[in-house]
Amino acid sequence: MGRVALVTGGTRGIGAACSKALKDAGYNVAANYGGNDDAANAFKKETGIPVFKWDVGDFQACEQGVIAVENEVGPVEVLVNNAGISRDAMLQKMSHEQWSEVIRTDLDSVFNMTRQVINGMRERGFGRIVSISSINGQQGMLGLANYCSAKAGMIGFTRTVALEGARKGITANAIAPGYVATELLANVSEKVMEHIVGQIPVGRLGEAEEVARCVVFLAADESAWITGSTLTINGGQLMD
């Protein structure tokens, strides 16, 4: 039987691609989602992957959610922290609510979820934690003070978890995608999209499946010597 993998925000966009790729690689996958029941049910029907609804920004909801997953699917051995939102505004116009919503969903969730699974991973002597950061966690971006802060914080958190888990067979790594063709870009104007693509040396947006392949790589048993790293996948837009 394959290892158990839990993907937050795992029924749409990059998360859905990660869930599918992990299942294809032999994992027993559980997909968390926050609110879109129709999309989650369609995903479940299409893939056969069980879905679990809870708010990853709520610590107690994460505790109960992981219990539900482990009761139905098994102990979580691979955690993919993918859930995220954006609430864009220039700093002088950004409300405290816009700031807090993004920090809560994009960064607090990484602690909330990792905290629920870390002890079991330590006891079993194995764990893979992969967190989906962003190119904008590696550089600043206009109108994204909340999002950039959350994604940069995710990288710092990853490095600490990597140090703490290294002797227990647990790896923690981040992936920093560039601009990927998902719903997050659906409302971007044609002019702005042309500008974005113009900054990408390979001349196109990324595909969610390309990010998912990186997740499968880092989740593998054979990736045990890779920890504390940030894997950039951005078409050459930012080279670090």
Compute the distance between CA of residue 183 and CA of residue 17 in angstroms, rounded to an integer. Answer: 13
The answer to whether 109 and 83 have CB atoms below 8 angstroms apart is yes
User: Tokens 């990324």 belong to which residue?
Assistant: 206
Distance CA(174)–CA(187), nearest Å, equals 27
Phi-psi group of 194: left, alpha or beta (phi > 0 → left; psi -120 to 50 → alpha; rest → beta): alpha
- Dihedral of the CA atoms 51, 54, 56, 62 (nearest 10)? -100
**Contact yes or no for 20/1 (Cβ under 8 A):** no
Is 147 assigned a catalytic role? yes
Catalytic residue among 27, 33, 147, 179: 147
* Rounded Cα–Cα distance for residues 221 and 211 (Å): 18
DSSP state of 3: P
* 113 contact partners, CB below 8 Å, separation of at least 6: 6, 8, 56, 62, 66, 79, 81
Closest CA to 42 of 51, 29, 30: 51
- Take residue 140 and report the two structure tokens written for it: 């600043």
Active centre residues (catalytic): 147
